Amino acid sequence: DDMVAGLRGWAAQQDARAADGSTDLVERVDHDGWSVEIVSAPLGVIGFVFEGRPNVFADAAGVLATGNTAVLRIGGDALATAQAIDQHALRPALGSAGLPEGAISLIGVRERSAGWALFSDPRLALAVVRGSGAAVTQLGSVARQSGIQVSAHGTGGAWLVADTTADTERFARVVRHSLDRKVCNTLNVVAVPRDRAADLVPVLLRAADQAAAARGGDARVHVANGSEGWVPTSEFERRIDVRRAEQTSPEPRASLLPLDELGTEWEWEDTPELSLVVVDDVDQAAKLFNTYSPQFVASFVSTDPAAHARFRNLVNAPFVGDGFTRWVDGQYALDRPELGLSNWENGRLLGRAGVLTGADLTTRRTFAHHDDFDQHR
């Protein structure tokens, strides 16, 4: 149902191109006897490599809105589903719309080498990598080495920072609602101020356990070195069942984590997993975020407007909020089908936000017209 709604959303969205199908005028500058027009133009062929989520078909269809085409490579575990969508939905839709069958195409190969080959092809205008983790980082590097622009975040995971004025109940709700499932914008690291650690750390543990209870278990916590004094010793001694992709096994409820590993993204399945660090103040929390995080999502809980303004100025993140972290989603936040999210791990983006939509897939061309070249040269 969500995929159908996503496709219909694209159909209902106004075409980003000019009415005659040509390039779209962005700006016109008139001079005496001549003028300059800045127009938008398609990027070209967009390559998508994504994990086993066939809904990306609906998202990737958005490239058509700006006159681009797409080549898709999906994870092998979802290839048969993708091929069924391709055969029974995508191709008939392209045909009924009068578009070429190859406007969006699927690579029907299970081997991961197909993704590497796709991202090595210099004919691509943009490489979009959906997902997170080391494999995404590697794919992005392959594309960059081939001179291809990349929209990807190699690691995900959101950070939550509280200050001394943080409302306890709001803090608990943020934790609970940011751990409903594991995706890139799931809560990964929590930083609490030292002068509130005595009351906020127990709240954090209870809220994380409430999120875990909805999945039938307890939360797994990694405590940064130097912060263990605010976590009961019994939590380090207690063992819980942790359900991972490969198997369920007993692990410590809490364990120590070197500070320089604070940015580790926990790839959990059914057992919510996160890191905790106690900081001196918001400045230190922002410094840790800028140093160790993938510079992706930051949430700040405070009742002080001035503190919010300072946090936004200090933290190097494209997505900053004051509540649950899972709002970072193009369809949810912007009511637009999302092609991908970008962090700032490899630098800030030029002229666009971190949510990539079909409307963003354009470049700019500049055309000049001279009424009388000899008179005005």
Fold agreement (2-152+331-369, 158-328): no
Angle at CA of residue 21, ends 20 and 22, nearest 5°: 95
Supply the mean pLDDT for the chain: 89
Highest averaged pLDDT of the listed ranges 91-100, 132-141, 176-185: 176-185
- pLDDT at 59 > cutoff 90: no
- pLDDT at 154 > cutoff 70: no
Q: Where are the domains of the chain?
A: 2-152+331-369, 158-328
- The pair of structure tokens assigned to 56 is 């990306």
Which range (123-132, 198-207, 262-271, 276-285) has the least confidence?
Answer: 123-132
**Is the Cβ–Cβ distance between 54 and 74 less than 8 Å?**
yes
Residue labelled with tokens 């081939």: 146
The helix or strand, by DSSP H or E, that contains position 282, with its residue range, turns out to be helix 282-292
Per-residue confidence at 54, pLDDT binned at 50, 70, 90?
confident
Residues 6+ apart with CB under 8 A from 130: 48, 49, 50, 51, 53, 56, 152, 340
Q: Which string of b and e fits 308-337 if b means at least 16 CB within 10 Å?
A: bebbeebbbbbbebeebbbbbebbeeeebb
Distance of CA 83 to the CA centre of its chain: 25
Whole-prediction pTM: 0.86
- pLDDT at 240 > cutoff 80: yes
**Is the Cβ–Cβ distance between 60 and 48 less than 8 Å?**
yes
Helices of type H across 86-214: 91-96, 113-118, 134-145, 168-177, 197-213
- C-alpha span between 262 and 284 (Å, rounded): 13
- C-alpha span between 39 and 193 (Å, rounded): 50
- pLDDT, position 22: 53
Which range (20-34, 74-88, 241-255) has the least confidence?
Answer: 20-34
Q: Which of 177, 133, 139 is nearest to 47 (CA)?
A: 139
- For domain 2-152+331-369, the CATH class is alpha beta
Using a pLDDT cut of 70, give the percent of the chain over it: 94
Residue labelled with tokens 């972290």: 325
Highest averaged pLDDT of the listed ranges 29-33, 63-67, 189-193, 359-363: 189-193
Distance of CA 218 to the CA centre of its chain: 27
> 158-328 architecture in CATH?
3-Layer(aba) Sandwich (3.40)
User: Residue range 237-252: average pLDDT?
Assistant: 94
The helix or strand, by DSSP H or E, that contains position 224, with its residue range, turns out to be strand 220-224
Amino acid occupying residue 168: T
Amino acid occupying residue 67: G
What are the tens digits of pLDDT across the range 62-115?
888 888 999 999 888 889 998 998 898 888 888 988 989 889 999 998 888 899
Q: Which residues pair with 104 in a beta bridge?
A: 70
